[in-house]
Chain A
């Protein structure tokens, strides 16, 4: 472990490499996390199948690219299909559990995750798949640091998408209705907002966002029917740490999480890369509890 730290102190250029890799992939995590926060905030459903929506988006993109479409362009049809899929899932499953207690919606989305995993496994098989973007790798610092174009492009795409979402939430009628419903569903209903439609739209929008994240993942990393859980966990860690309705927080946490994964992978070994994420969640939860405790004491 210390020998790995020595490498970083002796050749700080590798810190740049780790940071770049972490921040660029973190942007994709931010997408999935934002979608999760959206659904959580508006419908109060904690979607345990979040990561599986990401994987499904990746597989759809992979399928479209097999028809001759460039993988990066598949984000458009994938977003459309995933939006539709989200709508169907909302009507079939989510709207039945939305008013129920927390445990019911957790069970329902957990079941959904299993069905989606097995479905993808049946259709695409258990082997890992990747889509090839065909983009180049750029080298910096005499070849010691490399960045792939696809990572940079997806970083920019994630940024644009986040911007579009912010504008949509602020400016459009539907965006305003979503925010109103998130604040107080009953009041929104009284004001004439069709909350049922808002819920369905929010869930579908999340599904589409996950789809885009999946397409980017398929070109940067790999797809596997059972890998969704890793993205679900990351999204939960980010949202729990950042809090609901806090987009800047989500982005900062996601980029930070991506980088921390890289550093822990380098210093502690690849086996701790994802374990660090879970440890972080634990630390965040303990820290929050302590804060709350202090808050309560002040109140007393």
Chain B
């Protein structure tokens, strides 16, 4: 009985799609996921599992942008106004689930427009699926360099790729050395990177830049996935006195490094960690976090602007008003919002629901958002936006590099226990 019903349903569906197809009546492809006046975007993203917090940050960004695009008049296609909405599945922070659920979104829910998952690992699993079905995906949370070396056609990323994360710290160390009458090639660098795709990309970027300046690495440790102790590495730092210490090991790396740097009373003039904000270094260590440099995709003090959100600062205010549970806006949210803006822009320019036309429209994107300029390379990564470096000064994250965007001066050198002799100059 049940089987019979299913068979009839399939037959009906086939008949309808054949009718639509032959008649050429619809502007929509047979199954495009547009319900009434709503365009459904889909995403398999971390709601539970180890990336649940970052996944939430990203979703909050997606949702806020969807809300704002809808409030500002939605997306007009062929004279009709459409609203956006996002259908989510929980990928449990595992790449295999991401791929499975994307298949479900595409095959069962007929979603044709995809927003990325959180993390490079899950994005790596999502890419082959969207390529197989030729469904465009705009992702905002997978920064691994390896995502853009596979020749994927349907994946686009609004964020800067991971090798750019700490490279700016190397450039800054060179700048400071030259200012102090030293040679950039004399700078000694201590590196500690987690053995995961993201951190190894960051490391590759740092190494590239070090080579450019002729710098030497005095320590090159790889951190384990379940890192909770860096005292051995820090003892080496104490013995070898590097000029720059760079660490990338997600929040556990930033937390452990900050704590043990202070506990062991080690003063390194320049210290740069990824994930300072998500590790809440200021909240956890207070003064002990002073002077640490943190790369970020985005900062609310940057002078970017767009018609939906206004300036970066206005986005910041709106986000905090919508989500009072956040103290600061995570960059994951900002880039999530930017991805939705790119989708909206692509729909407007393509004036179509056809996935191929949309893909071409996305590829041709050249727009300014509150998050920064967006322009995709042939590989699909955003080549228009630089990474910025912020320093923790009196508990605030202030942009100090690149000098072009800096709102504050660098506090140098960082002393043992945090902070510098000078006060932050506003």
Contacts and interface: CB of A to CB of B under 8 A. Distances in A.
A144 B235 CA distance: 9
Interface in A146-163: 146, 148
Interface stretch (B14-22, B147-155, B219-227): B219-227
Interface in A206-255: 217, 221-222, 224, 226-227, 229-230
A68 interface: no
Given A269-B222, A270-B230, A146 B264 contact: yes
Interface stretch (B37-45, B249-257, B391-399): B249-257
B238 A221 contact: no
Given A14-B235, A121-B49, A224-B228, A270 B264 contact: no
A262 B226 CA distance: 16
Interface in B203-244: 220-224, 226-233, 235-236, 238-240
B52 interface: yes
Interface string B35-65: 0000000000000111111000000000000
A143 B195 CA distance: 31
A227 B251 CA distance: 14
A114 B49 CA distance: 12
Interface in A112-145: 118, 121-122, 125-128, 130, 132, 137, 139, 143-144
Contact of A266 (B51, B224, B232, B280): B232
B278 A127 contact: yes
A229 B226 contact: yes
A143 B263 CA distance: 11
Contacts of B240: 7
Interface residues of A, number: 43
A271 interface: yes
Contact of A127 (B220, B221, B239, B251): B251
A143 B231 CA distance: 15
Candidate in B232, B233, B280 with the most chain A CB atoms within 10 angstroms: B232
A227 B256 contact: no
B265 interface: yes
B97 interface: no
B226 A222 contact: no
A125 B57 CA distance: 13
Given A121-B52, A270-B233, A144 B222 contact: no
B270 to A, nearest CB: 20
Contact of B226 (A143, A226, A263): A226
A223 B221 CA distance: 22
B284 interface: yes
Contacts of A224: 226, 228, 252
Interface of B: 48-53, 93, 192, 195, 220-224, 226-233, 235-236, 238-240, 251-252, 255-256, 259, 262-265, 278-280, 284-285
Given A21-B231, A230-B228, A263-B232, 12 more contacts: A11-B239, A17-B235, A126-B50, A127-B279, A128-B255, A128-B279, A130-B255, A139-B265, A227-B226, A265-B232, A266-B233, A270-B232
28 contacts: A14-B235, A17-B235, A21-B235, A126-B50, A127-B280, A128-B251, A128-B255, A128-B256, A128-B279, A137-B262, A137-B264, A146-B263, A146-B264, A217-B228, A222-B255, A224-B252, A264-B232, A265-B231, A266-B232, A266-B235, A269-B221, A269-B222, A270-B224, A270-B230, A270-B233, A271-B222, A271-B224, A273-B224
